[in-house]
Chains A and B, each alone.
Chain A
Amino acid sequence: MSPWGANDPRRRSFRRGAALVTSHLALLAVFALLVSAVFAALMRDEPREQIRTGGLMFGGFLGVAIVLSWLLYPLPL
Protein backbone atom coordinates (compact mmCIF):
# COMPACT_ATOMS: atom_id res chain seq x y z
CA MET A 1 0.00 0.00 0.00
CA SER A 2 1.43 3.34 -1.02
CA PRO A 3 1.92 5.84 1.81
CA TRP A 4 0.90 8.60 -0.60
CA GLY A 5 -2.61 9.53 -1.66
CA ALA A 6 -3.89 8.77 -5.16
CA ASN A 7 -3.46 12.40 -6.22
CA ASP A 8 -0.02 12.86 -4.71
CA PRO A 9 2.65 13.53 -7.37
CA ARG A 10 5.19 11.58 -5.29
CA ARG A 11 3.16 8.42 -5.76
CA ARG A 12 4.81 6.17 -8.37
CA SER A 13 1.62 5.63 -10.29
CA PHE A 14 0.55 9.28 -10.20
CA ARG A 15 -0.64 10.51 -13.60
CA ARG A 16 -2.09 13.80 -14.65
CA GLY A 17 -5.21 13.72 -16.81
CA ALA A 18 -6.60 10.42 -18.05
CA ALA A 19 -5.68 7.39 -16.02
CA LEU A 20 -3.53 5.18 -18.19
CA VAL A 21 -1.85 1.86 -17.99
CA THR A 22 1.80 2.53 -17.29
CA SER A 23 3.04 -1.01 -16.93
CA HIS A 24 5.96 -1.49 -19.30
CA LEU A 25 4.88 -5.04 -20.14
CA ALA A 26 1.26 -4.04 -20.87
CA LEU A 27 2.36 -1.19 -23.15
CA LEU A 28 4.87 -3.49 -24.82
CA ALA A 29 2.13 -6.07 -25.41
CA VAL A 30 -0.24 -3.48 -26.93
CA PHE A 31 2.54 -2.11 -29.13
CA ALA A 32 3.59 -5.61 -30.22
CA LEU A 33 -0.01 -6.58 -31.00
CA LEU A 34 -0.67 -3.57 -33.22
CA VAL A 35 2.69 -3.69 -35.02
CA SER A 36 2.37 -7.46 -35.56
CA ALA A 37 -1.11 -6.98 -37.03
CA VAL A 38 0.16 -4.40 -39.54
CA PHE A 39 3.21 -6.46 -40.54
CA ALA A 40 1.14 -9.64 -40.88
CA ALA A 41 -1.34 -7.84 -43.16
CA LEU A 42 1.55 -6.41 -45.20
CA MET A 43 3.35 -9.72 -45.59
CA ARG A 44 0.51 -12.21 -46.11
CA ASP A 45 -2.62 -12.20 -48.25
CA GLU A 46 -4.63 -15.07 -46.75
CA PRO A 47 -6.36 -14.34 -43.41
CA ARG A 48 -5.22 -17.67 -41.92
CA GLU A 49 -1.63 -16.98 -42.87
CA GLN A 50 -1.95 -13.46 -41.48
CA ILE A 51 -3.15 -14.77 -38.12
CA ARG A 52 -0.32 -17.33 -38.02
CA THR A 53 2.36 -14.78 -38.97
CA GLY A 54 0.93 -12.14 -36.66
CA GLY A 55 0.78 -14.60 -33.75
CA LEU A 56 4.37 -15.71 -34.31
CA MET A 57 5.55 -12.11 -34.55
CA PHE A 58 3.63 -11.10 -31.43
CA GLY A 59 5.09 -14.05 -29.49
CA GLY A 60 8.54 -13.16 -30.81
CA PHE A 61 8.21 -9.57 -29.67
CA LEU A 62 7.17 -10.60 -26.16
CA GLY A 63 9.61 -13.50 -25.89
CA VAL A 64 12.63 -11.46 -27.00
CA ALA A 65 11.66 -8.59 -24.68
CA ILE A 66 11.35 -10.92 -21.66
CA VAL A 67 14.60 -12.75 -22.45
CA LEU A 68 16.47 -9.47 -22.98
CA SER A 69 15.07 -7.98 -19.79
CA TRP A 70 16.34 -10.97 -17.79
CA LEU A 71 19.73 -10.79 -19.49
CA LEU A 72 20.00 -7.09 -18.64
CA TYR A 73 18.66 -7.55 -15.10
CA PRO A 74 22.07 -8.21 -13.42
CA LEU A 75 23.65 -5.14 -15.01
CA PRO A 76 24.06 -2.20 -12.64
CA LEU A 77 22.17 0.94 -13.67
Chain B
Amino acid sequence: MPSKTTTAETARASAEPGTLALVCVAAWLVPGAGHLYLGRRQKATVFFVALVLLFGLGLLLEGRIFPFELSEPLVGLAAIADLGLGLPWMVARLAGAGAGTVTAVTYEYGNTFLIVAGLLNYLVVLDAFDVAMGRK
Protein backbone atom coordinates (compact mmCIF):
# COMPACT_ATOMS: atom_id res chain seq x y z
CA MET B 1 0.00 0.00 0.00
CA PRO B 2 1.37 3.43 -0.87
CA SER B 3 0.75 4.93 2.58
CA LYS B 4 2.66 2.11 4.31
CA THR B 5 5.61 2.55 1.97
CA THR B 6 5.60 6.27 2.67
CA THR B 7 5.48 5.67 6.43
CA ALA B 8 8.30 3.14 6.22
CA GLU B 9 10.39 5.48 4.11
CA THR B 10 9.77 8.36 6.52
CA ALA B 11 10.77 6.15 9.46
CA ARG B 12 13.92 5.01 7.64
CA ALA B 13 14.87 8.60 6.78
CA SER B 14 14.20 9.74 10.35
CA ALA B 15 16.32 6.92 11.77
CA GLU B 16 19.50 8.47 10.42
CA PRO B 17 21.68 9.66 13.35
CA GLY B 18 21.65 13.34 12.31
CA THR B 19 17.88 13.42 11.93
CA LEU B 20 17.40 11.52 15.19
CA ALA B 21 19.53 14.07 17.04
CA LEU B 22 17.65 16.93 15.39
CA VAL B 23 14.28 15.44 16.36
CA CYS B 24 15.36 14.90 19.96
CA VAL B 25 16.88 18.37 20.36
CA ALA B 26 13.83 20.01 18.76
CA ALA B 27 11.50 17.96 20.99
CA TRP B 28 13.46 19.00 24.07
CA LEU B 29 13.68 22.69 23.13
CA VAL B 30 10.04 23.18 22.18
CA PRO B 31 7.48 20.66 23.52
CA GLY B 32 5.88 18.91 20.54
CA ALA B 33 8.38 20.17 17.96
CA GLY B 34 9.80 16.67 17.44
CA HIS B 35 6.35 15.26 16.72
CA LEU B 36 5.58 18.19 14.43
CA TYR B 37 8.76 17.44 12.46
CA LEU B 38 7.64 13.82 12.17
CA GLY B 39 4.24 14.87 10.84
CA ARG B 40 2.20 14.19 14.00
CA ARG B 41 0.53 17.56 14.26
CA GLN B 42 -2.29 16.62 16.60
CA LYS B 43 0.05 15.12 19.20
CA ALA B 44 2.45 18.05 18.79
CA THR B 45 -0.38 20.50 19.54
CA VAL B 46 -1.45 18.59 22.66
CA PHE B 47 2.12 18.41 23.96
CA PHE B 48 2.85 22.06 23.28
CA VAL B 49 -0.35 23.44 24.81
CA ALA B 50 -0.42 21.14 27.84
CA LEU B 51 3.27 21.40 28.77
CA VAL B 52 3.68 25.13 28.21
CA LEU B 53 0.48 25.72 30.19
CA LEU B 54 1.72 23.47 33.00
CA PHE B 55 5.05 25.33 33.09
CA GLY B 56 3.41 28.78 32.90
CA LEU B 57 0.98 27.91 35.69
CA GLY B 58 3.90 26.68 37.78
CA LEU B 59 5.54 30.09 37.45
CA LEU B 60 2.26 31.90 38.19
CA LEU B 61 1.81 29.78 41.29
CA GLU B 62 5.15 31.15 42.50
CA GLY B 63 7.04 27.91 42.07
CA ARG B 64 10.82 27.85 41.93
CA ILE B 65 13.08 26.93 39.04
CA PHE B 66 15.71 25.08 41.03
CA PRO B 67 19.43 25.81 40.61
CA PHE B 68 22.01 23.09 39.95
CA GLU B 69 23.23 22.60 43.49
CA LEU B 70 25.04 19.28 43.68
CA SER B 71 25.53 19.64 47.43
CA GLU B 72 21.73 19.34 47.78
CA PRO B 73 20.76 16.14 45.93
CA LEU B 74 17.01 16.83 45.91
CA VAL B 75 17.53 20.39 44.64
CA GLY B 76 19.86 19.05 41.95
CA LEU B 77 17.30 16.44 40.87
CA ALA B 78 14.55 19.06 40.77
CA ALA B 79 16.84 21.25 38.63
CA ILE B 80 17.34 18.38 36.17
CA ALA B 81 13.57 17.88 36.04
CA ASP B 82 12.99 21.62 35.43
CA LEU B 83 15.59 21.58 32.65
CA GLY B 84 13.40 19.14 30.72
CA LEU B 85 11.34 21.93 29.25
CA GLY B 86 14.15 23.40 27.14
CA LEU B 87 13.37 26.80 25.66
CA PRO B 88 10.62 27.87 28.11
CA TRP B 89 13.04 27.00 30.92
CA MET B 90 15.81 29.09 29.31
CA VAL B 91 13.48 32.04 28.73
CA ALA B 92 12.22 31.89 32.32
CA ARG B 93 15.79 31.72 33.68
CA LEU B 94 16.92 34.66 31.51
CA ALA B 95 13.85 36.69 32.47
CA GLY B 96 14.57 36.08 36.14
CA ALA B 97 11.26 34.27 36.61
CA GLY B 98 10.86 31.26 38.85
CA ALA B 99 12.59 32.71 41.89
CA GLY B 100 9.91 31.02 43.99
CA THR B 101 8.20 32.48 47.04
CA VAL B 102 8.56 30.01 49.88
CA THR B 103 5.92 31.81 51.94
CA ALA B 104 3.30 31.68 49.16
CA VAL B 105 0.46 29.24 49.76
CA THR B 106 0.85 27.94 46.21
CA TYR B 107 4.67 27.49 46.34
CA GLU B 108 4.62 23.69 46.48
CA TYR B 109 1.89 23.50 43.86
CA GLY B 110 4.05 25.68 41.60
CA ASN B 111 7.08 23.46 42.14
CA THR B 112 5.03 20.38 41.31
CA PHE B 113 3.70 21.95 38.10
CA LEU B 114 7.23 23.00 37.00
CA ILE B 115 8.89 19.68 37.82
CA VAL B 116 6.17 17.56 36.24
CA ALA B 117 6.18 19.71 33.07
CA GLY B 118 9.91 19.07 32.66
CA LEU B 119 9.66 15.35 33.39
CA LEU B 120 6.75 14.91 30.98
CA ASN B 121 8.76 16.61 28.25
CA TYR B 122 11.53 14.04 28.75
CA LEU B 123 8.89 11.38 28.05
CA VAL B 124 7.77 13.32 24.96
CA VAL B 125 11.39 13.41 23.72
CA LEU B 126 11.65 9.63 24.18
CA ASP B 127 8.35 9.17 22.33
CA ALA B 128 9.61 11.33 19.44
CA PHE B 129 12.77 9.20 19.37
CA ASP B 130 10.68 6.02 19.15
CA VAL B 131 8.52 7.46 16.37
CA ALA B 132 11.64 8.53 14.45
CA MET B 133 13.08 5.03 14.83
CA GLY B 134 9.87 3.61 13.37
CA ARG B 135 8.96 1.75 16.56
CA LYS B 136 5.59 3.49 16.88
Contact = CB atoms under 8 A, between A and B. Distances in A.
Are A and B genuine complex partners? yes
Interface of A: 15-18, 20, 22, 27, 30-31, 34-35, 37-38, 40-42, 45, 47, 50
Contact of A31 (B51, B116, B123, B136): B116
A22 B50 CA distance: 20
Report the interface size class on chain B: 20 to 34
B112 A31 contact: yes
Contacts of A16: 101, 104
Contacts of B60: 18, 20
Contacts, number: 52
Contact of B50 (A15, A17, A27, A37): A37
B51 A38 contact: yes
Interface in B77-132: 101, 104-106, 109, 112-113, 116, 120, 123-124, 127
Contact of A38 (B61, B62, B120): B120
**Is chain A's binding surface mostly helix, strand, loop or mixed?**
helix
B47 A38 contact: yes
B123 A34 contact: no
B46 A37 contact: yes
Given A34-B53, A41-B43, A15 B105 contact: yes
A37 B51 CA distance: 10
Contacts of A20: 60-61, 106
A38 B113 CA distance: 13
B57 interface: yes
Interface in B14-49: 42-43, 46-47, 49
